[in-house]
Structure 1
Amino acid sequence: MRCDVAPLLHLDSGFDLRPAASSDAPTIAWWMAQPHIQKWWEQDWSVERWAQAIEEQLAGEHSIPCLTAVDGEDFAYAELYRVRHDRLAEYYAWQEHDWGIHVAIGDAERLGRGLGRRLLRALAEALLRADPLSQRVVAEPDVTNLPSIRAFEAAGFVIHAELELPEKKALLMVHTRTVEA
């Protein structure tokens, strides 16, 4: 895994994070087919396509696909990525060490319980702890995805701009380093 970060990050708030493997493709494919995720991610792919995507991510320098667990059960998919390697870099004045995150809570029974905001904060703070040169973590939720926007705001992300991406109008949301991070 070559994405400028240790393969395992220590997350606070009781979460476990591990790199996804192709053997996780059935779980991820099932999650991505759920209406609350499919609407925003549009990656309702086959198990085979997810297995290939995970292998490609793990072999590249762009992003790290991960599974997140709480109480010993996987419940979310996350992608951690360096903005400088992502097309998002074309849309805002990025800094060399910016991290980006994408998160999908696959287990619908865990929605609406505050786990999303806790996970987003834990991921952002873990990335900043693991990378002393990084000053911020960014996300770009769709402007109409109000539950996601609220979760990012509750996790300490601040809206910096509206971005016109090819597939959506998005908000650039930024979590900056604090003394605690």
Structure 2
Amino acid sequence: MDVYVEEEVGAPPIPSLDGGWRVAPIEPGADGVAVVHDWMNRPHVAGPWDQAWPYERWAAEIARQAAGRHSRPCLAYRDGEPVAYLELYRVLRDRLAPLYPYRPHDLGVHIAIGDERDLGHGVGRRLLRAVAVGLLAADERCTRVVAEPDVRNEPSVRAFTAAGFVRAGEVTMPHKTAALMVYPRAQEDLPQW
């Protein structure tokens, strides 16, 4: 990646969403850190994320992300209530970058639904679609939103697919084999490799 191009690409935008959804960045030291810590230590999140860390480590992680241009830690709200933790990231600054032919403005999303009762009811699908559409609207140079759920996490892969993401292939990461899920602005924006 050309250093000049990397420098001109800003931090991930915070998308505006429709359908009763709202995304807000988590500020270091704010109540959102406690929410994320709680959710990450729940069994349905702790397994796939493998980040059942103490509060202090999550506080440091949120502060680190908030200070950089790689990833933005956020909470997603539905009708005013927190529903999910999101990490919105720039692929060009992520370990995913060397694993597929990314474009400089590609955006990525990690998602954790906080309450187990929200699983299996389309909450993730609706949120993922709203986030993808919102990210594409927030950065007109972005032509695709990507995600990389573990291939063994079939419910997550199904939720991304139901949200309109296309399974473009598999990528091998140090800790998992991931399904590369892509929400393209147009069909021709799907990665070819």
With the shorter chain as reference, the TM-score category is: over 0.9
Pick from 160, 163, 181 the counterpart of residue 173 of structure 1: 181
TM-score, reference length from structure 1: 0.93
What is the Cα deviation at residue 99 of structure 1? 0.3
Q: Which residue of 1 aligns with 2:53?
A: 45
Pick from 135, 140, 143 the counterpart of residue 132 of structure 1: 140
Q: CA separation in 1, counterparts of 2:78 and 2:38?
A: 19
Q: Which residue of 2 aligns with 1:9?
A: 15
What is the Cα deviation at residue 178 of structure 1? 4.5
Q: CA separation in 2, counterparts of 1:131 and 1:75?
A: 24
Q: Matched residues, percent identical?
A: 51
Contact 1:161 1:171 in 2 (8 A): yes
Pick from 12, 26, 32 the counterpart of residue 20 of structure 1: 26
TM-score, reference length from structure 2: 0.88
Across the aligned residues of Structure 1 and Structure 2, the Cα RMSD in angstroms comes to 1.3
Moved more, 121-130 or 12-21: 12-21
Pick from 158, 178, 187 the counterpart of residue 150 of structure 1: 158
Q: Which residue of 1 aligns with 2:76?
A: 68
Q: CA separation in 2, counterparts of 1:58 and 1:25?
A: 12
What is the Cα deviation at residue 138 of structure 1? 0.3
SS at the partner of 1:87?
coil
Q: CA separation in 2, counterparts of 1:36 and 1:13?
A: 26
Letter aligned with residue 13 of structure 1: G
Q: CA separation in 1, counterparts of 2:154 and 2:99?
A: 21
**How many residues are paired up?**
176
Q: CA separation in 1, counterparts of 2:55 and 2:16?
A: 28
Moved more, 20-29 or 81-90: 20-29
What is the Cα deviation at residue 71 of structure 1? 2.0
Q: Which residue of 2 aligns with 1:55?
A: 63
Pick from 164, 168, 178 the counterpart of residue 172 of structure 2: 164
SS at the partner of 1:127?
helix
Moved more, 103-112 or 120-129: 103-112
Pick from 113, 127, 141 the counterpart of residue 105 of structure 1: 113
Q: Which residue of 2 aligns with 1:89?
A: 97
Letter aligned with residue 20 of structure 1: I
Name segments (4+ residues, structure 1) moved above 6 Å: none
Q: CA separation in 2, counterparts of 1:176 and 1:79?
A: 19
What is the Cα deviation at residue 9 of structure 1? 2.1
